[in-house]
Structure formats: C-alpha cells, structure tokens
Amino acid sequence: MSKEKDEQFKPYVPADKTQPELTVTSVVMGIILAVVFGAANAYLGLRVGMTVSASIPAAVVSMGVLRILLKRNSVLESNMVQTIGSAGESLAAGVIFTMPVLFLWSSEGVTDKPGMLTIMLIALLGGLLGVLFMIPLRKALIVKEHKTLPYPEGTACAEVLLAGEKGGASAKSVFVGMGLSALIKFVVDGLKMIPGTIAIPVKALKTEFSTEIYPALVGVGYICGLKISSYLFAGGMLGWFVLIPAIVAFGGETILYPGTATIAEMYEAGGASAIWSSYIRYIGAGAVAAGGIFSLIKSLPLIFGTFRDTIKSLKGSNADSDGKMLRTDKDLNIKLVVIGILVLIVLIAIFPDIPVSIPGALIIAIFGFFFGAVSSRMVGLVGSSNNPVSGMTIATLLCATVILKASGNVGVNGMIGAIAIGSIICIVAAMAGDTSQDLKTGYILGSTPVKQQIGELIGAVVSAIAIGGVLLLLDAAWGFGSAELSAPQATLMKMIVEGVMNGNLPWTLVFIGVFIAVVIEILGIPVLPVAIGLYLPLEMSVPIMIGGVIKHFISKKESKEEAENEAGGGVLFCSGLIAGEGIIGIVLAILAVLGVDSVIDFSGSLNLGMIGGLLILAILIVGIVRAEKVKSK
C-alpha cells in the first residue's frame, strides 16, 4: 500500500521525451480562441450571471484543427492551444462580475463612464497577477495533491485530448457524449423547446425543489464523485429547505434589507427564488468567505513547504546547468515570478487610470494571493464552472469598502476604489482557477509547466486587450442593467459597496453564513463544498448530485483494479458532455450578440415542459451507464 502511495505519477508523454508545444501555430490558434471565447462569455455572463468554462471546448477545437486539418500529432501542442484559449473566458468572467458597476454608476450620473484604457489595464494587471500567484502553488496543489483534488475540467480536458490521441473507442465515447450534449443544449437554450430548469413547489415548507437539466452539471458530478457532490447538495438543501422556510415562516410582515417589501409579499410575488436572491446569497457569501479562510489555514503548511522547497532549489534548478531537473518539473523562474508580482502591484498603485491608492494596492497583494490560492483549491473540488468567484469578490468588496471607509476614503471615490480593487481580485481568482485546471491537464499529459505558464500569460495579455472593446460595444448596443444585459452579478456588487458606504449592509445575514461555516468545520465536514452549495442556486447542486449518485452505483460494480486504472467510458462520456455544452453555449452566445437568436426561438409555439426535461435527464443517465458498459467490454 505504501509502495503504491510513494509511486510517482507517470504522465502520458514521459519527461524524457519532447513534443512541439509552444509553437507559432499553437500561439496563433490560442489567441484567436481566447478572443472569441472571451467575447462570447462576456455576453453570456452579463445576460445570465454565469459563464461557460472554455478549457474543454478549446481542447476539442484545437484537437480537431491540429490533428484532423493540419495533420499535426502533438498532444502537447493541442494542450497549449486550449491553455491560451481558455484564458479569455476566465478573464471575461472576472471583468463582467464587477466592471459593469462603473457603467451603471455613470448611467445614474454618479461618475464618468470608464474608458477603454482603464478597463484594459485593470483586466491586464489582474490577469497577469492571477497567473503569477498560481505558479508557486503548482507543486503543492497539482503535484502533491494529484489524487486528492480531481480538478474536474482539467481531468476532463486531458481525457478529451487523450481520446483524440488514442482514437478508437475512447474517442467515440467522448464524441458521442459531446454530440448528445450539444444537441440537448441547442434544444434547451437555442430552440427553447424545453425549459432548462424543472421546479416543483413544496407549499408546506414555502419553498421549491428544482434542478437544471444541463448535461455539463451531471458530467461534473460524475467526475467529482458522490462525496463532493453530496456536500454541495447538502449546502443547497440547507439553504432551500431550512433557511428559506425559516425566513418565510418567521419573517411574515417584516421588511428586511435588502428587501424593499415584506417577506410575505416577496414570497407571494417571486416565490422561494426571491427569498434566495435577497437573503440566502448573503448568507452563502459569508459561508464561502469563512470556508475560504479555513481552507487557506489548512493549506498553509503545504503552501509554506512548497515555497521553502522552491527557494531551496533556486541554486541550479532554474539554471538548468546541472541537467538534473526533469522537463515536467520546470516552472517559471521563481525570482522572475516574485519580481513580476512586485512590479504589477507597484503599477496598480501608480497608474492614474486605475483608481487604486497605495493602501488599495496592498489590499490587492494580500487578498490576491489569498483568493488565488483558495480559488485554485476550490476549482480542484468543483470545477471552474462552479467556482464561486463572485462569492470571493463579495468578501473582498466587504473588507475593501470597510477599510477604505475607515481610512476616510468615502463617497464616490471610495466606491470606485472598492470596485477597482474588487475587479482585480475577481480577475485574479478567475485566472488562478483557470491556470490550475490547465496545469492539471498539462500534468496528466506531460506538458512542460514553464511553457504552459508562458501560454497563460500570453492568453491573459491578449484577452485583456480585447475585453475593453467588448464591454464598450455591449454597453453601446444595449446598456448594462437593461433587459438584454441585466448584469446580475455586477448589480449585486454595486449594492454591497453602496450598502457598506451608506451603512445599511445586512451584516447579520453575512455573519449567519460565517457561523454556519464554523459549525460545519467543528463537525469535521469540509466547509467549502457545503458553502458553495449554499451560495449557488439549488437547481445547480441537484444535477451535480445526480452525476455523483450514478458514479457511486457504477463504482460499486467495478473491481478496485478497474477503479484505479485509466478513466472508464463514463468519465470519457461525461468529458464529452461538458465539452459539447460548452461549445454550443459559446455558439449561442455569438448568435445572441449577432441578434439572430430570436429566429430559432420556438418557446411560444412548441414547449415540451417538465416531461421534456425529465426525458433529457433519463437520456443522460442511460447514456452514462451505457458508455461505462461499452468501455468495460
């Protein structure tokens, strides 16, 4: 047993072999995908408050173009394309959750509209910091905890690329899953013939049980397994079947900020979702912040040990003169990383276009590393798509606004400074999470870490340059806060900053979340997955749980040797589910930007309702089980 534990992981491409990686072709293709995915996801996030992880779609596109069209056979080159390409989506997610607040304030006459340079600089500095903060943590989180942290999208991405490499049944499982997922996503969100969410009212408890029917969430649950899925589900149940019924039962005719009507009226008008939106999200944000602190405290020995080992290995290891370091162990020179971080922090403090003072830059340095580490660990548990970046941003905004207010930086200047700090931290957390997933993929495949890290930096630079134009274009077309671009996350951030500055933030709700996290920690249950489940809508936790349950029953039938061996057909099929939905999600976002989405909308004439949704879930379950059976044969 101990022998197995000590056995070093062997990547697909051995350390003593080399393949083309950081080539002109991979860089050009990666840049194109970074711009496309960044723009599409910016629109998607501003419309619905969530983005689609682009790592797997980028991997599929790169594999198709490089292997099929260009006849190039390097899996590491394909991985480099997705590494650079996925940076666009992550940076867009960080920007759209916060930067639209400045546009919203400008429409209210509070401040001037931000210019292209301001958006670009904030995005660029946050993106580069997110990548650099992750580099010293690679060995702690990716290498040493390889068997502990699954990194669902990173693992799925590797499976997609390996399926293309191996061909045959492996590739078939991935592409069947991808085709099925793409079809479902197009029918649900494109043709709109089936609602994306099934909701069943539970009138006795004044709440509802709901589930989304999207394939990617079921796939994530299958890859994560039952334990992590059940923690997420437990958080969702706590929010929707304990806290919401309690608030409705005891609230009655009470008007509790941020609600503007009585709780009874809110429930009557919007149901359990209205209570979740106004109150549970604050409780969830408090729990996520506390869970992040617990996670970081637990990780500190490992993190400090990694820094110590890195510093010890400075002499000679990064010089490559002794030839002892394996290709798959080479990171960007730690001296350059530290210098780069310091330079970026100084630039944040001195650039006149970034409304952040020296104290604000210090807040960014401290919170940036903290949330970069926490984000990296969180996506290892639940994947980038479910990484509650906005929850971490809420925690940052709370602290930053309080500090700025206490130091006398109040009013409009204080609010703009808080949003600028929150924007950079949000981008840092999103980019650190994406970088972790990409490095996990590279670790499984046998990529050279330093080359991947350079690829991440290239992706961050290109995406930052493009995102400013995208935001200005979308604002000019519809305006943030409109029906087309409701910008739900940014609206929440705006309310938090204004609430702290005006002294009317619901701290009670935030601290309820904090102490829920404390109780969970005392019970010895991992806090973060439960807190994430509490923060996210229940309909997202349920399909993840369904995937975890399927994995549990299939795993029970497998022998131990099969379970520890290469990924079964179920994992490959679920990798395809994640990829297919991601690709079609991005295509639909582009159609929406072009204004042709209404042409294919059949919601008014043909709607299959709940029966269609249940049928889709049944098809997904049967598909995963069949894929596992085919692979085992």
HEC letters along 501-562 = HHCCCCHHHHHHHHHHHHHHHHCCCCHHHHHHHHHCCHHHHHHHHHHHHHHHHHHHHCCHHH
Q: Identify whether 460 is part of a domain.
A: yes
User: Which residues neighbour 460 within 8 Å (Cβ) at sequence distance 6 or greater?
Assistant: 87, 91, 124, 127, 128, 130, 131, 431
- State the residue range of the domain holding 419: 21-593+610-632
What's the pLDDT at 88?
Answer: 86
Q: How many domains are there within the chain?
A: 1
What's the pLDDT at 241?
Answer: 97
Between 233 and 74, the more confident residue is 233
Q: Identify whether 88 is part of a domain.
A: yes
The Cα–Cα gap between 285 and 388 comes to 9
Q: Identify whether 496 is part of a domain.
A: yes
Q: Identify whether 215 is part of a domain.
A: yes
Q: Identify whether 291 is part of a domain.
A: yes
Residue 501 binned pLDDT confidence (cut-offs 50, 70, 90): confident
List, for residues 177-188, the tens digit of each pLDDT value: 889 999 999 998
Residue 487 binned pLDDT confidence (cut-offs 50, 70, 90): confident
Cβ of 606: how many Cβ atoms within 10 Å? 11
Q: Identify whether 15 is part of a domain.
A: no
Query: Is residue 206 predicted with pLDDT exceeding 70?
Result: yes
Residue 473 binned pLDDT confidence (cut-offs 50, 70, 90): confident
Q: What is the three-class DSSP state of 570?
A: helix
Q: Identify whether 602 is part of a domain.
A: no
Residue 616 binned pLDDT confidence (cut-offs 50, 70, 90): very high
List, for residues 264-298, the tens digit of each pLDDT value: 999 999 899 999 988 998 898 888 878 877 876 77
What's the pLDDT at 42?
Answer: 83
What share of the chain in percent tops pLDDT 90?
A: 33
What's the pLDDT at 583?
Answer: 78
**Model's pTM, two decimal places?**
0.75
Q: Identify whether 3 is part of a domain.
A: no
